[in-house]
Every structure is written in structure tokens, then in C-alpha cells.
Homo-oligomer: A and B are copies of this chain.
């Protein structure tokens, strides 16, 4: 680490700081691009997983009356698997979101340092880049939130359907297919 040494004594401190600050904006922009890509990528994968789970819920709800015990168990296993996968992808996008947030902060600070060092062009470029990626991430986030809202709605629907089913078959009696006779006997 060349601390306190000028790479070219002919250049002024001011000029060297300006150049170094511009270099920092270059590298923070690369980090910002990479974290943005990773976040958008992982958010998109997560959104797909939410839609997968959503379609499974719909299928389960539509078939609820027509399935036997083993069919229901099979589709439940698939739903559980899809939920695990969605959770995994959510953790991943949250991790990349943290990286992205750090990259944005770093870029903002680099833009400020460049501006103060007189590297105005580099500063403006970074600020524009930050704005651009914020819009991109916001759009991708909205798609994910729309999917999440649909999932919540489908779950309420499913719960309502289950409640309707439960009026016919109380839950403490076990699965309805297994004990319909005992239920009828106690009525």
C-alpha cells in the first residue's frame, strides 16, 4: 500500500484526489451493476416461485372435493415443496437486496466524494446510474408484490373453502375421507 506517496510528483494533490475519486465512482458503478443484476434476477426467480405456488393453490382448491386422501396428500407434498423453494428464493433475494442497498449507499458516497473533488462528470454519471437502477429495482419489486398479493388472496380463498369444508367435517375428527362413518354416528 503506497501510503503518502505520489505516483507522479508533477501532479498536484488536488488533481490526484480528483482522479482517485473518479476511479472510485467507476468501481462503485460496477458493483452497483452487479448487485442490481443479482437483485433483479433473484427477485424474478422469487416471483416465478410465488406464481408456481399460486397455481398449485388454485389447483388444490379446485380439486378439493374431487380428491381422495392419497391424491390430496400428494398435492400437499408438492405445495410444501413449492413453499420451501419460494422461501429459499426469498432469502436469496433479501441477501442480494442487502448487497444492493450497500452498493447504492457506496455509490451515493462516491458521487459526493467525486463532486467535492471536482470530478463533476463522474459524480453526475453515478447519480444518474443510481436513479436508473432504483427505477429498475422498483419495477421488479412491484411485480413481486403483485404476485404476493395474489398469493395472499388465494390463501384466503383456500381458507374460506376449507372453512366451508369444515362445516361438513370438523377438523378434530381427522381427515374427512377417513372417518365419515364415525362422524355420522355421533350426529
Contacts and interface: CB of A to CB of B under 8 A. Distances in A.
Interface string A6-23: 100000011011001101
Copies of the chain in the assembly: 2
Interface residue tally of chain A, by bracket? 35 or more
A64 interface: no
Contacts of A14: 38
27 contacts: A1-B125, A2-B33, A3-B33, A3-B132, A3-B133, A5-B33, A6-B37, A13-B34, A13-B96, A14-B38, A16-B37, A17-B31, A17-B35, A17-B38, A20-B30, A20-B33, A20-B34, A20-B35, A23-B30, A23-B31, A24-B24, A24-B106, A26-B27, A98-B116, A99-B116, A102-B109, A105-B109
Interface of A: 1-6, 13-14, 16-17, 20-21, 23-24, 26-31, 33-38, 40-42, 96, 98-99, 102-103, 105-106, 109-110, 112-113, 116-117, 125, 129, 132-133, 136
